[in-house]
Amino acid sequence: MNSVKAFAPATVANVSCGFDIFGFAIQEPGDTVELTKRDEPGVVITEITGDEGRLPRQAEKNSVTVVMLALLKHLGIKDLGCEVVLRKNMPLGSGMGSSAASAVAGVVAMNELLGNPLSRKELLPFAMEGERIASGSAHADNVGPSLLGGFVVIRSYNPLDIFTIPVPDDLYCTLVHPDIEINTKDARFILRNEVSLKNTIAQMGNVAGLVAGLMKADYDLISRSMVDVIIEPVRSILIPEFKDVKQAAISNGALGCSISGAGPSMFALSRGIENAQNAGKAMQERFASAGIESAVHVSGINQGGAVILQ
């Protein structure tokens, strides 16, 4: 095998009440990575599209190649040479798992090029290193679902313990990206290091309720549990019109609405594609009324995660 092409999808992380422990993948958009072997040893980025020239071209500084270098080091491979082409199909700093999609597509492509020595789950720690480069934190709530598909729960980071839970077939996500940017590092910096016992208890109840609601296909319980009393009140101030956009989604059929990842993208969950589309239209119109353009993506939960295209 001399070349490989891999695709990794966008993701919604945190999912309202599950900061750093919940995430799910959608069908599209996503990033594509192409690897081609070369005679000289070393991993070299030859082209990046869709980033407006903002991402580093040095292999040791880019999420897409840091994961490859970590995998090669783990496997003791020193003489492999390959050229890397990264095609970005979502904005940077979007809250849609942009860096995660690059990292996952990169590590899946390299693993395929090497003959798949590791399983998908074994690739997760390497994909997380891409997040460390991008945001300063090796969190798994974006790379996990982009890599594995489905609705992912991270029970523990040390030791790493991750699993997926079933979701209703008729559950749809509306993901709306306003034309503004929030740096993930900045969005983490403003968070409080300590929270009150009262808020912790409320958040734990909502986390448990959301897991149970998804597994039982109890849409009312899902709706009641999509409440974040810890992260959303702090980060929402970074997103113009947040409260009105959220209310527009719920008033037009969504079960609930919150921030996707670090923002500024917002997501809603709905029962049925029609409700999801109506919520997206209402959210986009509310942003537009404030002079903010936005893009809308409506998708079921992507159960497969990253794929090899060729």
Share of the chain above pLDDT 90, in %: 91
Q: Catalytic site residue 83?
A: no
Pairwise CA distance, residues 41 & 32, whole Å: 23
Distances (CA, A) of 118 to 96, 184, 249: 26, 30, 41
pTM: 0.94
**Binding site residue list:** 91-101
Residue with tokens 């009440």: 17
Q: Which residue has the higher pLDDT, 243 or 134?
A: 243
Average pLDDT over residues 35-53: 96
Pairwise CA distance, residues 9 & 149, whole Å: 9
Q: Catalytic site residue 32?
A: no
- Provide the token pair at 148: 């594995």
State the catalytic residue, choosing from 131, 174, 232, 241: 131
Determine the distance from the C-alpha atom of residue 169 to the mean position of all C-alpha atoms in its chain, rounded to a whole number: 20
- Provide the token pair at 59: 């292999």
**Binding site residue list for ATP:** 91-101
pLDDT tens by residue, 272-286: 999 999 999 999 999
Given this model, what pLDDT does residue 187 score? 76
In contact, 143 and 131? CB cutoff 8 Å? yes
In contact, 164 and 22? CB cutoff 8 Å? no
Q: DSSP labels for 198-225? A: HHHHHHHHHHHHHHHHHHHT-HHHHHHH
